[in-house]
Structure 1
Amino acid sequence: MTTLPPLPMTRPKLAALARKKLPCSPGKIPRSQLIKEKNDIDHYLEVNFKGLSKEEVAAYRNSYKKNICVDMLRDGYHKSFTELFALMEQWDQLREAARIRSLSWLQKPLEEQPDKLDYFYHYLTRAEAAEREGSFEEVYKNLYSLACCFDNSEDKWVRNHFYERCFKIAQFIKIDGGKREAEAHSHMGLLYEEDGQLLEAAEHYEAFHQLTQGRLWTDETGCFLNLLACESLLRTYRLLSDKMLENKEYKQAIKILIKASEIAKEGNDRKMEGEACYYLGLAYMSAGEYETALTVLDTYSQISTDLNDDLSLGRAYEAIAKVLQSQGKTTEAINYLEKVVKLARNNFQSLDIVRASTMLGDIYNEKGLYNKASEYFKQAFDTTVALMNMPLMDETKVHYGIAKAHQMMLAMNNCIESENITNLDYLLSWKENRSDIEPQP
Structure 2
Amino acid sequence: MTTLPPLPLIRPKLASIARQKLPCSSKVLPRAQLIKEKDDIDHYVEVNFKGLSKEEVAAHRNSYKKNICVDMLREGYHKSFTELFYLMEQWDTLREAAKARSTLWLQRPLEEQPDKLDHLYHYLTRAEIAERKEYFEDVYNNLYALACYFNTPEDQWVRNHFYERCFKIAQLIKIDGGKKEAESHSNMGLLYEEDGQLLEAAEHYEAFHQLTQGRIWKDETGRFLNLLACESLLRTYRLLADKMLENEDYKQAIKILIKASEIAKEGNDKKMEGEASYYLGLAYWSAGDHKSALTVLNALTKISEDLDDELSLGRAYEAIAKVLQSQREIQGAIKCLKKVLEIARNTFQNLNIVRASTMLGDIYNEKGFYSKASEYFQQAFDTTGELAIVPLMEETKVHYGIAKAHQMMLTMSNYIESEDITSLGYLLSWKESRSNITFDQTVGSRKSTMDRLSQNSDTLEEEINRFLEKQKKHPL
Mapped pair 1:368 → 2:368: yes
Partners of 1:439 and 1:357 lie apart in 2 by 25
Partners of 2:388 and 2:56 lie apart in 1 by 65
Task: Indicate if the aligned counterparts of 1:407 and 1:439 stay in contact, CA closer than 8 A.
Answer: no
Equivalences for residues 138-287 of structure 1 within 5 A: 138-287=138-287
Partners of 2:338 and 2:254 lie apart in 1 by 29
In structure 2, what is the equivalent of residue 310 of structure 1? 310
Letter of the 1:335 counterpart: K
In structure 1, what is the equivalent of residue 408 of structure 2? 408
Q: Where does structure 1 lack aligned partners over 5 or more consecutive residues?
A: 22-26, 34-42
Partners of 1:10 and 1:413 lie apart in 2 by 89
CA separation of 1:166/1:224 partners in 2, compared to 1, >3 Å: closer, same or farther?
same
Partners of 1:238 and 1:29 lie apart in 2 by 63
State the Cα distance separating 1:102 from its structure 2 match.
3.1
Partners of 1:68 and 1:394 lie apart in 2 by 61
Partners of 1:47 and 1:244 lie apart in 2 by 76
Partners of 2:24 and 2:406 lie apart in 1 by 82
Partners of 1:158 and 1:44 lie apart in 2 by 45
In structure 2, what is the equivalent of residue 382 of structure 1? 382
Partners of 1:86 and 1:176 lie apart in 2 by 31
Letter of the 2:224 counterpart: F
Letter of the 2:112 counterpart: E
Mapped pair 1:53 → 2:46: no
TM-score (ref. length: structure 1): 0.93
Partners of 1:384 and 1:122 lie apart in 2 by 56
Partners of 2:263 and 2:127 lie apart in 1 by 37
Partners of 1:70 and 1:305 lie apart in 2 by 66
State the Cα distance separating 1:103 from its structure 2 match.
3.8
Task: Indicate if the aligned counterparts of 2:371 and 2:407 stay in contact, CA closer than 8 A.
Answer: yes
Task: Indicate if the aligned counterparts of 2:300 and 2:316 stay in contact, CA closer than 8 A.
Answer: yes
Runs of 4+ in 1 over 6 A off after TM superposition: 43-46
SS of aligned partner of 1:322: helix
TM-score (ref. length: structure 2): 0.86
Letter of the 2:279 counterpart: Y
In structure 1, what is the equivalent of residue 99 of structure 2? 99
Equivalences for residues 336-347 of structure 1 within 5 A: 336-347=336-347
**CA deviation map 1:190-226 (0-9, x unaligned):** 0000000000000000000000000000111111100
Mapped pair 1:393 → 2:398: no
State the Cα distance separating 1:49 from its structure 2 match.
3.2
Letter of the 1:428 counterpart: L
Letter of the 1:265 counterpart: K
Task: Give the CA RMSD over aligned residues.
Answer: 1.7
In structure 1, what is the equivalent of residue 353 of structure 2? 353
Aligned residues: 421
Partners of 1:297 and 1:125 lie apart in 2 by 56
Task: Indicate if the aligned counterparts of 2:10 and 2:122 stay in contact, CA closer than 8 A.
Answer: no
Task: Indicate if the aligned counterparts of 1:98 and 1:105 stay in contact, CA closer than 8 A.
Answer: yes
Task: Indicate if the aligned counterparts of 1:167 and 1:184 stay in contact, CA closer than 8 A.
Answer: yes
Deviation larger for 352-361 or 93-102:
93-102
In structure 2, what is the equivalent of residue 426 of structure 1? 426
Letter of the 1:439 counterpart: F
In structure 1, what is the equivalent of residue 320 of structure 2? 320
Partners of 1:44 and 1:246 lie apart in 2 by 76
State the Cα distance separating 1:48 from its structure 2 match.
1.3
**CA deviation map 1:32-57 (0-9, x unaligned):** x9xxxxxxxxx998761322211111
Partners of 1:151 and 1:439 lie apart in 2 by 68
Letter of the 2:343 counterpart: L
Partners of 2:220 and 2:199 lie apart in 1 by 28
State the Cα distance separating 1:358 from its structure 2 match.
0.1
Task: Indicate if the aligned counterparts of 1:408 and 1:439 stay in contact, CA closer than 8 A.
Answer: no
**CA deviation map 1:116-157 (0-9, x unaligned):** 001101100000000000000000000000000000100000
Equivalences for residues 53-132 of structure 1 within 5 A: 53-132=53-132
SS of aligned partner of 1:154: helix
Partners of 1:424 and 1:233 lie apart in 2 by 69
State the Cα distance separating 1:234 from its structure 2 match.
0.2
Task: Indicate if the aligned counterparts of 1:7 and 1:119 stay in contact, CA closer than 8 A.
Answer: no
SS of aligned partner of 2:261: helix
State the Cα distance separating 1:7 from its structure 2 match.
6.2
Partners of 2:167 and 2:276 lie apart in 1 by 30
**CA deviation map 1:12-37 (0-9, x unaligned):** 2111011124xxxxx7549xx9xxxx
Letter of the 1:64 counterpart: Y
SS of aligned partner of 2:218: coil
Partners of 1:146 and 1:439 lie apart in 2 by 76
